[in-house]
Structure 1
Amino acid sequence: MNADQIIVMEHGRIIERGTREQLIAQKGDYAQMWESQQQNALDAET
């Protein structure tokens, strides 16, 4: 992925904003989605 900023929205409102690294470090909604996708990718490989 190549983005300067990622914006996470919920019900039309911005709830998080930052780089991928910043959002993962915040352990908010973006981090939960990212971790879920990573786990699904690992599960698909096995």
Structure 2
Amino acid sequence: MTRLPTPAPEGDPRDGGRRLMLVEALAGRWGWSPRADGDLGKTVWAECAL
């Protein structure tokens, strides 16, 4: 089962995660998928109203 990315708590020293809070706040819809090339990481997409 794939674990969904979630925003990291404020002050978390790890890189990544915190920016998802900004995406979630601004986007009408958003999601993610593993990288198409199979490498580490993920691709995040967002739809924002004009």
TM > 0.5 fold call:
no
The structure with the largest helix share of the pair is: 1
Which category describes the TM-score, using the shorter chain as reference length? under 0.3
How high is the TM-score relative to the length of structure 2? Answer: 0.26
How high is the TM-score relative to the length of structure 1? Answer: 0.27
